[in-house]
Chain A
Amino acid sequence: MLANHIGHYSLVIGLLTSILIFLLSLKSYKSQIIDKRIFSISFLQLFFVLISFLSLVICFVISDFSNETVFNNSHTNKPIFYKISGTWGNHEGSLLLWLLVLTLFLFLFLINSKNELKRYRILTVVFQQVIIIGFFLFVLITSNPFNYLFPIPMEGLGLNPILQDPALAIHPPILYVGYVGSSLIFSATLAAVIENYISKNWAKNIKIWILISWIFLTIGIMVGSIWAYYELGWGGFWFWDPVENVSLMPWICLTALLHCILVLEKRELLKSWTIILSIATFTLSMCGTFLVRSGILNSVHTFANDPSRGIFILCFLFFLIIIALIIFFIFNKDKQKDYKKIYFFSKEVSILVNNWFLMYFLSVVLIGTLYPIFLEVLIDHKISVGPPFYNKLIVPFLIFFLIFMSLGPNLKWIKETNIKNKFQLFIFFFISLIISFIIYKKIGKTNLINTVLIAASFYLFIVTIKDFFSKELYNISKKLSHFGFSMLILSILLNGILSTEAIINLKVGEKFTFKNEQIFFKSLENNQKENYQSVVGYFKVEDDKKNISLFKPELRIYDQPVVITSEADIKTTFFRDRFLVMNTIKGNEYFNVRYQVKPFMIWIWISTLLLAIGGFLSLYNRLYEK
């Protein structure tokens, strides 16, 4: 009750401080002196949003059902961990978290940018406050987390059980840090455009924020995939589902920006392109928010949705796009009066090629996600765009992308005069082709494109490993990230072509043989847990070398709301995951059992982590240099 009121009022006060900061910074922008009060008020703003957020957490912890959000998403006999994570597992609470990260980032920016242009700093604050005010209004008008319910219900409706999961508890906060980081890049870019401050120095500073949001976005997407792997999917980890695409798009754009900013930093080229990418990244994040929260999309991961929210975000999104475009067209003075010679064999060009391919992949994902919506509105015809579409359009181009990626990063800035080790590079390619051919021979499939694709990814893999042994020890972060990426692609591809599975209906006491393994359904066990009833199946899997492993897949029947989920049992080793999941069949003593062998599964996660660690090292270097 009390926490509810405190939360609501601090949210309102937070909005007022936002407006105050907005006005104060406009004033300081005119007078060119930074009003010291801006710092203290930003701190206050952060404080109030934090209080508001904490009060919602408290409401969830004490199960205060006079709060509508708590009523809709919680239940008294839910474990305390999920009561807390339930705070951001719903639409209203997640927006509050979003707001918290927004204000936190602005505050960090303010205290970390002391030696930059004054006017640039203030303008960044102005733009960031516009976004913050927008979100404050969004929360307060359309999705207030502190709506009051009377009479007070005795019991809540409960959180969807598939969301009651540790990976999903940390997934949203991490992802939001990534999204929100892109908002700061957006504001800073617009401020820099107006102040004509797009320069080497700016690139150096903004790169920190790009890295932060890139790292968080990478890890956020990975955690989401891991969750989908063991909870949602029957062994799949990426479904090309619209909601997944929506998180992938800002990531692709940010990756392009991360490379492009290097060119700006080293050679002061590609200014306009950097600006466009910065704007696009945030636009895509917002567009994603719109698509997910408005409920236009038809996805596995849906939020409770409401069209009025959609209209608000849509208008806000277009308002920001229009502001960005106006500023871009009026203030961007990048006429490049000083022509710099660009040579074809240079790092700049290879980064351009990288951006070119990344933009293509982005356009595939974007068009694939939006096209069904457009088609339905325009000619009232519904189609589905699924994995085959993305595979067909991405795979052929991926081959060239991987080859360029093997060659490009070793070129020098400005001009590469002699490409070393030409012979070695050819040998490597030849070896990769042979490996790939042998793999395909071994599994008895022949597919020209796939053979070349595997070859290309092996090539990148070998080249990136070779890079570790080269004498130049600097830029270990780049090497690590590129190596991580090559391993990611390789493990995804090998996983894709080598995975095998069997689907069978079994009852207790039956066994069946799959390849060289025998699966025996030993017994069933019923248990009553805190908020669900668990049915555990015991399966003995024995291979021809008499290695026995025991699988314990579980069915959970949750009480509030009544939902049955199946928890897979996964045995992970360095070379393969074995995945066993069971399901009930209506009116039958049989269980639907799926047994999958998925090679190199763990390497997908490890390589994504390496990718992020590479980013983190680069960030560490940046901060340390300062």
Chain B
Amino acid sequence: MKLSKIFFLLFIILNFFSICHAEKNDQLTIKISKNLRCLTCQGQSIYDSQSDFAVSMKILINKKIEQGLSEKEIYELLKDKYGEWIVYDTNFNRNTFILWGLPVLLFFLGGAIILRKLVFRKV
């Protein structure tokens, strides 16, 4: 019963996807444009936005990829023009180490508190 269910599930999944990779450049453009923030409608990514700026930016990204720039180089180029703000994926640097570190620190702190309550309890 259980096994047949699992096989049924497997069957569905395997049959369902016949996915091959489309043009690689297009996918990379999409990936990069999702990680860039639009300066005209500032809540949206370049990918989501339809503003003039975003449309041009997508063309530019495509062009730069064709010129052989890597993803990282494109980010650097744009950061240089528009500041760090334009990239959603902030790097780990002296401005952001708290941003990256604090949640993880809190996680371990929480773990320590729970352990203390459990293991070192006076009974």
Contact = CB atoms under 8 A, between A and B. Distances in A.
Which label, helix, strand, loop or mixed, suits the secondary structure of the A interface? Answer: mixed
B43 A382 contact: no
A36 interface: no
Contacts of B87: 384
B94 to A, nearest CB: 10
Contacts of A360: 103, 106-107, 110
Nearest to B52: A586
Contacts of B50: 566, 583, 592
B43 A298 contact: yes
Interface stretch (A56-64, A214-222, A306-314, A361-369): A361-369
A393 B92 CA distance: 13
Interface in B9-53: 9-10, 12-14, 16-22, 26, 30, 34-35, 37, 41-45, 47-48, 50, 52
B10 A435 contact: yes
A500 B19 contact: yes
B85 A384 contact: yes
Interface residues of A, number: 66
Given A234-B47, A384-B86, A462-B6, A364 B111 contact: no
Contact of A382 (B12, B30, B84): B84
Contacts of B106: 359-360, 363
Contacts of B90: 383-385, 389
B2 interface: yes
A153 interface: no
Interface stretch (A109-117, A318-326, A436-444, A473-481): A436-444
A375 B104 CA distance: 19
A2 interface: no
Interface stretch (A67-75, A89-97, A341-349, A527-535): A341-349
A107 B117 CA distance: 40
B42 A515 contact: no
Contacts of A592: 50, 55
A442 B14 contact: yes
B70 interface: no
Contacts of B104: 393
A397 interface: yes
Given A298-B43, A301-B43, A339-B123, A381 B84 contact: yes
A384 B88 contact: yes
Contacts of B123: 339, 341
Given A367-B102, A393-B100, A503-B26, A388 B19 contact: no
Contacts of A368: 99
Contacts of B16: 575-576, 599
Given A381-B95, A385-B90, A502 B37 contact: no
Given A239-B48, A302-B43, A438-B14, A383 B95 contact: yes
B21 A444 contact: yes
A469 B2 CA distance: 10
Contacts of B48: 232-234, 236, 239
Given A233-B48, A236-B48, A388-B35, A383 B85 contact: yes
Interface string A417-452: 000000000000001000100110011100000000
- Range of interface residues on chain B? 35 or more
A384 B99 contact: no
A495 to B, nearest CB: 12
A299 B99 CA distance: 20
A81 interface: no
Interface in A577-609: 583, 585-586, 592, 599
A388 B103 contact: no
A172 B117 CA distance: 41
B89 A379 contact: no
Contacts of B14: 438, 442
Residue of B41, B95, B107 with most partner-chain A CB within 10 A: B107
Interface string B71-108: 00000000000011111111000011011101110110
Contacts of B88: 384-389
A220 B117 CA distance: 36
Contacts of A443: 17, 19
B17 A367 contact: no
B30 to A, nearest CB: 7
Given A239-B44, A239-B48, 6 more contacts: A339-B122, A384-B86, A386-B89, A435-B10, A442-B17, A500-B22
25 contacts: A239-B48, A298-B42, A339-B123, A353-B114, A363-B107, A382-B84, A383-B95, A384-B37, A384-B84, A384-B87, A385-B88, A387-B88, A388-B35, A389-B88, A393-B104, A442-B14, A498-B19, A501-B30, A503-B26, A515-B20, A575-B12, A575-B16, A592-B50, A592-B55, A599-B16
Interface of B: 2, 5-6, 9-10, 12-14, 16-22, 26, 30, 34-35, 37, 41-45, 47-48, 50, 52, 55, 83-90, 95-96, 98-100, 102-104, 106-107, 110-111, 114, 117-118, 121-123
Interface of A: 232-234, 236, 239, 241, 298-302, 339, 341-342, 344, 349, 352-353, 356, 359-360, 363-364, 367-368, 371, 375, 379, 381-389, 393, 397, 431, 435, 438-439, 442-444, 462, 465-466, 469, 498, 500-503, 514-516, 566, 575-576, 583, 585-586, 592, 599
